[in-house]
Amino acid sequence: MSPAQILVTGATGQVGREVVAQLAAEGVPVRAGARSPERVQGPEGVEAVAVDVTRPETLAAALDGVEKVFLYAFGQGITEFLAAARTAGVKHVVLLSSQTVTDAFPGQEPIAEMHRSAEAAVVESGIAHTFLRPHNFATNILMWGWPQSIREQGKVRFPHPESHSDVIHEKDIAAVAVKALTEPGHEGQSYFISGPESVTQRRQLEIISEVVGRPLRFEERTPRQAREDLAEIVPPWVADAVFSYWAHSDGVPTHLSDTVERITGRPARTFAEWAADHAADFTP
């Protein structure tokens, strides 16, 4: 296995993929870890390796020669992963956590507790750490079925159209992660990272409409209808968390931070920029 300074876990995810790409673009030796490494679509020359906490035998090889790790917050197995990282000599972990650890609405506690537990495990490992705490990923709407509905019906059927979100671009989360992984001074820090604007769900659809160049319609669903719509997409505890957020942010602008610009030296990308980057997802 070739030497690699940094291991990126979750390299098939939206953020992990970007962390790999940005590190590789800077010439940093990086290893892309995933449960199914054959699914990794990294830049040419990036080594893909198996990282599966349900198969502890994958960890030593993946961590061999690694000094730093970009780590997704997960529940079962994180302690074992961190023990393997400590044994391998890892010096720094950048954990993708969540702002819900300090700023959760009622109903979001299961998500908040999962991330609190992950942060606690990292602290207890004794490895130097940086916690990244985004609140609302712009990519969440991909999970809610917006692309298919927009492509096939020219609309979205969704609740709380006036619910606000800071909709951070995955490239900005990755950019902060890359700075934390490659520059000194981020150890022991916890960063709330957000997009640059508070945007309602209705406005998000209007922006997508502008990007794809076709009229789109927001069909408001009641919370009960929407729960039925999402029943096959997410488990009940996730539904509870997101519906709580949508209800509490309905008509209420969300908090923002300047962390992306402060850490990376460039402003956070707008939702319009995100929509342009993902235009193909919404185009028939």
| CA count, 13 A, side-chain hemisphere, 244 | 17
Q: So where are the chain's domains? A: 6-135+169-193, 140-166+196-254+269-282
3 — pLDDT class (breaks 50, 70, 90): low
pTM (2 decimals)? 0.95
User: For the domain with range 140-166+196-254+269-282, which CATH number is right: 3.10.350, 1.10.760, 1.20.120, 3.90.25?
Assistant: 3.90.25
Beta carbons of 112 and 91 less than 8 angstroms apart: no
Query: What class does CATH assign to 6-135+169-193?
Result: alpha beta
pLDDT tens readout for residues 163-202 = 999 999 999 999 999 999 999 999 999 999 999 999 999 9
Task: Please report the pLDDT score of residue 280 as a whole number.
Answer: 97
Q: Give the residue-averaged pLDDT of 141-167.
A: 96
| Cβ-Cβ contacts under 8 Å for 10 (sequence gap 6 or more) | 16, 33, 34, 70, 72, 96
pLDDT tens readout for residues 5-40 = 899 999 999 999 999 999 999 999 999 999 999 999
